[in-house]
Amino acid sequence: MHRGIYLVGHSVPPPLAVEQAALLACGDRAVLSHRSGANLWNLLPYPASAPVWITIPPGRTVERPGIRIRRTALEARDIRNRHGLRLTSPPRTILDLSPLLDEEDLESVVAEAAYRRLASEAELAAQLKGNEGRRGVAKLRRVLALPGGPQRTRSHGERAMLRLARTACILGYEANARIHGYEVDLLWRSAGVAVEIDGWDGHSSRIAFERDRLKAAKLSSHGITVIPITGRQLRDDPGGVIERLKRAIAQRELTLIE
């Protein structure tokens, strides 16, 4: 697999064999990092055919085909063990990913790590303090400072709606939040308003149609105003989407005051 590293007894590498071979090829102090680290933490999909990302201490010279090697000093807090392999901690992995991802993808990774209790905001802030001047640090700082904080999204439609709400300064939302036994795409809990992004792929069957109508009916029975929004509306009429959302929130807040 690499010079002096052999795969025995398999015609195809089993899971994690490629990563293990890369670690062996790069020496005792090598750790999986960047996209490979994120893949092992289940924060970012990474094709098995793609190069393995490895971090080694500075001063060493290692070159191996099929391995992306980065050189930097890592603190003890930055190194973990998962599935028997050495890799960067989730907070350090996110810092290393920062220059490689756009802000929306980075927000998704940060929010997923927080949701799964892999990297807290305090841990990420500690990474920022110790790595001023690194590429990607300013981007990660912007993500952590987003209005409402980094939010988990699962589709392009949800990201577009989240971006639109932020641009219009309609804050106070939760993404993929649960209420009355259901999960909704965006929720203004105090106002009792939910937004559901209706994509054709996920709502084109009769079963999906019936399920979504039942969900909306049950939420409405609990006093939740559900606003269905399509991807076409987000693309072609963002102003209309925002106007409907603002009106719904204002009406609900007025009702709650009365």
What pLDDT score does 205 carry?
62
pLDDT digits (tens, 9 = 90+) for 41-87: 999 988 878 999 999 998 777 778 889 999 999 999 999 999 999 99
**DSSP label at 78?**
G
Q: Strand 79-82 relative to strand 182-188: parallel, antiparallel, unpaired? A: unpaired
Helices (H), 43-190: 90-97, 103-115, 121-129, 137-144, 156-167
Q: Strand 193-198 relative to strand 225-230: parallel, antiparallel, unpaired? A: parallel
What pLDDT score does 236 carry?
93
DSSP secondary structure letters along 204-239: -SHHHHHHHHHHHHHHHHTTPEEEEEEHHHHHH-HH
Residue 258, pLDDT > 70, answer: no
Residue 14, pLDDT > 90, answer: no
Cα 184 to its chain centre, rounded Å, is 18
Taking residues 100-108, report their average pLDDT: 93
Give bridge partners of residue 254 from the DSSP assignment. Answer: none
Mutual angle of helices 90-97 and 121-129, in 10-degree steps: 60
pLDDT digits (tens, 9 = 90+) for 120-157: 999 999 999 878 888 999 999 999 999 888 988 888 88
| In contact, 212 and 196? CB cutoff 8 Å | yes
Q: How many DSSP H helices and E strands does the chain contain?
A: 11, 9
Taking residues 218-236, report their average pLDDT: 92
What pLDDT score does 113 carry?
96
What pLDDT score does 1 carry?
81
Mean residue pLDDT of the chain comes to 89
Taking CA atoms, 65 is separated from 26, 31, 152, 249, in Å, by: 11, 17, 36, 56
Residue 110, pLDDT > 80, answer: yes
pLDDT digits (tens, 9 = 90+) for 190-212: 999 999 998 645 455 677 778 88
Question: Could you give the CA distance from residue 92 to residue 34 in angstroms, rounded to a whole number?
Answer: 9
Confidence bin at 10 (pLDDT 50/70/90): confident
Neighbouring CB atoms inside 10 A of 230's CB total 17
| In contact, 249 and 193? CB cutoff 8 Å | yes
Q: Which residue, chain included where needed, has tokens 């965006």? A: 186
- Looking at residue 239, its amino acid is G
The domain segmentation of the chain, as residue ranges, is 17-144, 156-257
What pLDDT score does 237 carry?
94
Confidence bin at 256 (pLDDT 50/70/90): low
Question: Could you give the CA distance from residue 93 to residue 243 in angstroms, rounded to a whole number?
Answer: 40
Cα 247 to its chain centre, rounded Å, is 30
Superfamily of domain 156-257: VSR Endonuclease (3.40.960.10)
What pLDDT score does 229 carry?
92
Residue 90, pLDDT > 90, answer: yes
Question: Could you give the CA distance from residue 236 to residue 30 in angstroms, rounded to a whole number?
Answer: 50
